[in-house]
């Protein structure tokens, strides 16, 4: 008899929080994408219109929002892969904890270098 | 060990066979939708993270983005196809995800209906607009373009 139940996906604790975070990031990315396609559509209006609007994004405040967006996408992407592994990989449900830690590790490994390089672009420099 | 069924895996919609409808007379729509979320998710990992890497990490990153940058990218069919796939898959995946969320939180049939109508309308507008933008893009709108097609 296992001491903990296996086979259920969302059973409180980390599972619950990651589910909430997956949902919030999904909604956030969706609304970003609606606006993103609209601003990209300005390339059909004129080069000036596009450059002007993109130009207003090139400041520290939007730069930090981009950091938030990328952090959210990295989480949603790798937590999504975790969900897929739990569903399709026979050993997935038994390795939930390890998969969860894996998501955290991959997230940090990709996010930290991203933040450094992106902030270097945002705050001048190269 | 007791077996507890995973959420959303009702036995009603388990079978992929069954000619569109299964024994209880329901379509397999929710099963396909569940599968689609996972398959499109895998593709989006490559498409979206690739998009972010090329646009934010290579070269000057965010500082280098302007009309000329877009013109340079869309001169290459690879990036046209990339962006088209990303647009369609991300919008279908996101819209389907939002549909689940509306089903979860909106309890009245009327509210659900209006929220979903709004969602579908917005999604169709965005997908059509984004598709047209990729197919009708004209790099030569920029008089100082250095692309060979504009000479
Ligand atoms: C801050 C982050 C982002 C920046 C700076 C950015 C920038 C751009 C740029 C410059 C383009 C023009 C074409 C190209 O470069 O391929 C573009 C197009 C596009 N981007 Fe992004 N992007 C970002 C994030 C995202 C995310 C997270 C998604 C998906 C969820 C996305 C989806 C798209 C799509 C679908 C198009 C094509 C739009 C169309 O069909 O008109 N982008 N983006
Ligand atoms: C980057 C790669 C991505 C992966 C691997 C991924 C994976 C997933 C998976 C597996 C689900 C289903 C969760 C479930 O059935 O419980 C999901 C849900 C969702 N995704 Fe994504 N996704 C990705 C990108 C995106 C993008 C670009 C958007 C927005 C346009 C998005 C928005 C959503 C939404 C709104 C949900 C519904 C959340 C819920 O039901 O709680 N995802 N994602």
User: Degrees (nearest 5) of the Cα angle B54, B57, B61?
Assistant: 90
Inter-chain contact B126–A37, Cβ cutoff 8 Å? yes
Q: Give a yes or no: residue B21 inside a domain.
A: no
What's the pLDDT tens digit per position in A44-76?
A: 999 999 999 999 999 999 999 999 999 999 999
Q: What share of chain B is helix, strand, coil (3-state, %, to 5)?
A: 70, 0, 30
- pLDDT of the residue at A4: 56
Does B112 fall in a domain?
Answer: yes
**Would the CB atoms of A1 and B61 count as touching at under 8 Å?**
no
Task: Report the 10 Å Cβ neighbour count for B65.
Answer: 19
Q: Percent of chain A having pLDDT more than 90? A: 78
Residues of chain A below pLDDT 70: 1-12, 125-126
To the nearest whole Å, the CA of B149 is away from the closest chain A CA by 17
Q: How far is the CA of B142 from the centre of ligand 2 (A)?
A: 37
Q: Which chain B residues are within 8 Å of A38, Cβ to Cβ?
A: 126, 129
- State the complex-level ipTM: 0.86
Structural domain total, chain B: 1
Pocket of ligand 2, candidates B13, B38, B41: which has the most ligand atoms within 8 Å of its Cβ, to mutate? B41
Q: Is B107 on the interface with A (CB under 8 A)?
A: no
In angstroms, the separation between the Cα of residue A13 and the nearest Cα of chain B is 17
Q: What is the dihedral of CA B134, B138, B144, B147, to 10 degrees?
A: 70
pTM for the full model?
Answer: 0.88
The answer for A2, left when phi > 0, alpha when psi is -120 to 50, beta otherwise, is: beta
Residue A42 lies in a domain: yes
CA–centroid distance, A60 to ligand 2, in Å, is: 28
Give the number of the atom of ligand 2 that is nearest the alpha carbon of residue B8.
15
User: A56 at the B interface (CB within 8 A)?
Assistant: no
Three-state DSSP state, B27: strand
Domain around B36 = 27-150
Is residue B138 in some structural domain?
Answer: yes
pLDDT at B24: 66
A 14-33: CB under 8 A from B: 23, 26-27, 29-30, 33
d(CA B68, CA B49) in angstroms, rounded, equals 22
Mean pLDDT across chain B, nearest whole number? Answer: 88
Supply the CATH number for residue A103's domain: 1.20.1300.10
- Give CA–CA dist A64/A70, Å, rounded: 10
Residue B8 lies in a domain: no
Q: Indicate the number of domains in chain A.
A: 1
Q: At B61, which CATH number? A: 1.20.1300.10
In a domain, A7, yes or no: no
A43 within some domain: yes
Distance B51 CA to ligand 1 centre (A): 7
- Residue A42: the pLDDT is 97
pLDDT, tens digit, 9 for 90 and up, residues B10-36: 444 444 544 556 666 678 899 999 999
| Domain with A52 in it | 14-124
A2 touches B at CB < 8 Å: yes
Which pLDDT tens digit goes with each residue over B83-118?
A: 999 999 999 999 999 999 999 999 899 999 999 999
- Contact in structure between B66 and A51 (CB atoms under 8 Å): yes
């Amino acid at each position: 008899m296992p001491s903990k139940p296996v086979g259920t996906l969302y059973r409180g604790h980390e599972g619950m929080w990651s589910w909430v975070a997956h949902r919030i990031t999904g909604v956030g990315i969706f609304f970003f994408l609606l606006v993103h396609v609209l601003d990209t559509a300005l390339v059909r209006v004129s080069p000036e219109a596009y450059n002007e609007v993109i130009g207003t994004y090139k400041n520290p405040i939007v730069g930090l929002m981009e950091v938030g967006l990328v952090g959210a996408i990295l989480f949603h992407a790798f937590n999504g892969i975790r969900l897929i592994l739990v569903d399709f990989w026979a050993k997935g449900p038994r390795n939930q904890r390890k998969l969860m830690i894996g998501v955290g590790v991959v997230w940090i490994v990709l996010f930290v270098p991203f933040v450094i390089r992106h902030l270097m672009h945002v705050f001048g420099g190269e | 060990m007791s077996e507890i069924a995973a959420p959303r895996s009702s036995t009603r919609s388990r079978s992929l066979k069954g000619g569109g409808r299964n024994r209880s007379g329901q379509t397999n729509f929710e099963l396909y939708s569940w599968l689609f979320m996972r398959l499109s998710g895998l593709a989006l990992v490559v498409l979206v993270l690739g998009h972010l890497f090329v646009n934010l990490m290579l070269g000057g990153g965010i500082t280098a983005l302007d009309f000329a940058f877009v013109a340079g990218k869309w001169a290459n069919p690879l990036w046209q196809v990339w962006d088209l796939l990303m647009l369609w898959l991300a919008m279908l995946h996101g819209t389907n995800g939002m549909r689940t969320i509306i089903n979860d939180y909106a309890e009245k049939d009327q509210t659900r209906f209006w929220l979903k109508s709004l969602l579908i309308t917005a999604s169709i507008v965005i997908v059509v607009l984004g598709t047209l933008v990729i197919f009708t893009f004209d790099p030569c709108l920029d008089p100082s373009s250095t692309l060979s097609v504009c000479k």
